[in-house]
A and B are shown apart, each in its own frame.
Chain A
Amino acid sequence: MMNLTRLAQSLSKGLVRAAAALALGFAAARAADFTPAIIYDMGGKFDRSFNQSAYEGAEKFKKDTGLAYREFEITNAAQREQAMVQLARRGAQIILSTGFTQASAVEKAAKQFPNLKFVIIDAVVDLPNVQSINFREQESSFLCGMAAAMISKTGKVGFVGGMDIPLIRKFALGYAEGAKYVNPKAEVFQNMTGTTPAAWNDPTKGAELAKSQFGRGADVVFHAAGATGLGVMQAAKDAGKLSIGCDSNQNYLHPGSVLTSAVKRVDVAVYEAFTAAKNGTWKPGQLMLGLKENGVDFSLDEHNRKLITPGMEAKLKQAKADIISGKLKVSEYRAQ
Chain B
Amino acid sequence: METYTVIVLTLAATLRVATPLVIAALAGMFSERAGVIALGLEGMMLGAAFSAAAVSAVSGSAWLGLGAGIATAVALASLLAFATVTHRGNQVVAAMAVNIMVSGLGPTLALAWFGLGGQTPQLNEVAQRFTAFAWPWSQTAREHPLPGLLYAELLSGHNLIVYLTVALLPASAWLLYRTRFGLRLRAVGENPHAVDTAGISVNSLRYQAVLICGALCGVAGTYLSTAASAGFTRDMTAGKGYLALAALIFGKWKPYPTLGACLLFAFTDALAARLQGVALPLVGVIPVQFILALPYVLTVLLLAGFVGKAVAPAAIGVPYSKEK
With A191-B276, A238-B132 known as contacts, the answer to whether A164 contacts B16 (CB < 8 A) is no
Interface contact A212-B117, CB-CB below 8 Å: no
Q: Does B234 contact A (CB under 8 A)?
A: yes
Minimum Cβ distance to chain A for residue B266 (Å): 10
| Residue numbers in B under 8 Å from A202 (CB-CB) | 238
CB closest chain-A residue, reference B12: A215
**Contact (Cβ within 8 A) B122 A230:** yes
Q: A251: CB under 8 A from chain B?
A: no
Whether B5 contacts A215 by the Cβ 8 Å rule is yes
Tell me which of B16, B229, B292 contacts A195 (CB under 8 A): B292
List the A side residues contacting B230 at CB < 8 Å: 230, 234
CB <8 Å contact, A227 and B229: no
Check A293 for interface membership: any CB of B closer than 8 A.
no
Contact B229 A164 (CB under 8 A): no
The answer to whether B122 touches A253, judged by C-beta atoms less than 8 angstroms apart, is yes
> What sequence of 0s and 1s flags, for each residue 189-216 of chain A, a beta carbon within 8 Å of any chain B beta carbon?
1111011001001111101110110011
A254 adjacent to chain B (CB < 8 Å):
yes
Whole-angstrom CA separation of A227 from B117 in the bound complex: 12
Residues of chain B contacted by A44 (CB below 8 angstroms): 117-118, 234
A203 touches B236 (CB 8 A): yes
Do the beta carbons of B224 and A208 come within 8 Å of each other? no
Residue tally, chain A, CB below 8 Å to B: 31
Which among B13, B270, B273 has the highest number of chain A CB atoms within 10 Å? Answer: B273
Closest 8 CB pairs of A and B: A46-B117, A215-B9, A203-B229, A234-B230, A204-B228, A190-B277, A191-B276, A212-B273
Interface size on B, residues (CB 8 A): 34
Whether, in the assembled complex, B235 has its beta carbon less than 8 Å from a beta carbon of chain A, the answer is: yes
Which one of A46, A164, A198 has the greatest number of beta carbons of chain B within 10 Å? A46
Q: Is A36 part of the binding interface, using a Cβ–Cβ cutoff of 8 Å?
A: no
Asked if residues A234 and B229 are in contact (CB atoms below 8 Å), the reply is yes
B139 within 8 A of A: no
Most B CB atoms within 10 A — which of A194, A198, A209, A212?
A212
Contact of A216 among B6, B122, B288 (CB under 8 A): B6
Q: Which of A75, A205, A253 makes the CB contact (< 8 A) with B234? A: A75
A197 to chain B, nearest CB (A): 12
B237 vs chain A, min Cβ distance (A): 9
B56 within 8 A of A: no
Interface string of B103-143 (1 = CB under 8 A from A): 00000000000001111001010000001100000000000
Residues of A within 8 A of B276 (CB): 190-192
Interface SS of A by simple majority:
mixed
Q: Is B254 an interface residue (CB 8 A)?
A: no
Which residues of A are interface residues toward B (Cβ below 8 A)? 44-46, 75, 164, 189-192, 194-195, 198, 201-205, 207-209, 211-212, 215-216, 227, 230-231, 234, 238, 253-254
A238-B292 in contact (CB<8A): no
Having A201-B234, A238-B132, one finds 6 other A-B pairs with CB under 8 Å, namely: A44-B118, A46-B119, A192-B288, A204-B228, A207-B229, A253-B122
| Interface check B263, CB cutoff 8 A | no
Cross-chain contact A189 with B277 (CB below 8 angstroms): yes
Decide yes or no: A227 and B233 within 8 Å by CB, A204-B228, A211-B13 being known contacts: yes
For B224, the chain A residues whose CB sits under 8 A away are 204
B274 touches A212 (CB 8 A): yes
Q: Quick check: B238 and A208 within 8 Å, CB to CB?
A: no
**Chain A residue, CB-CB nearest to B291:** A192
B283 → A minimal CB distance (Å):
18
Contact of A203 among B16, B131, B233, B269 (CB under 8 A): B233
The CA-CA distance from A260 to B118 in the complex, in Å, is 26
Shortest Cβ distance from residue A52 to the other chain B in the assembled complex, whole angstroms: 8
**A195 adjacent to B289 (CB under 8 Å):** yes
Chain A CB within 8 A of B17 CB: yes
Within B256-303, the residues touching A (CB, 8 Å) are 269-270, 273-274, 276-277, 288-289, 292
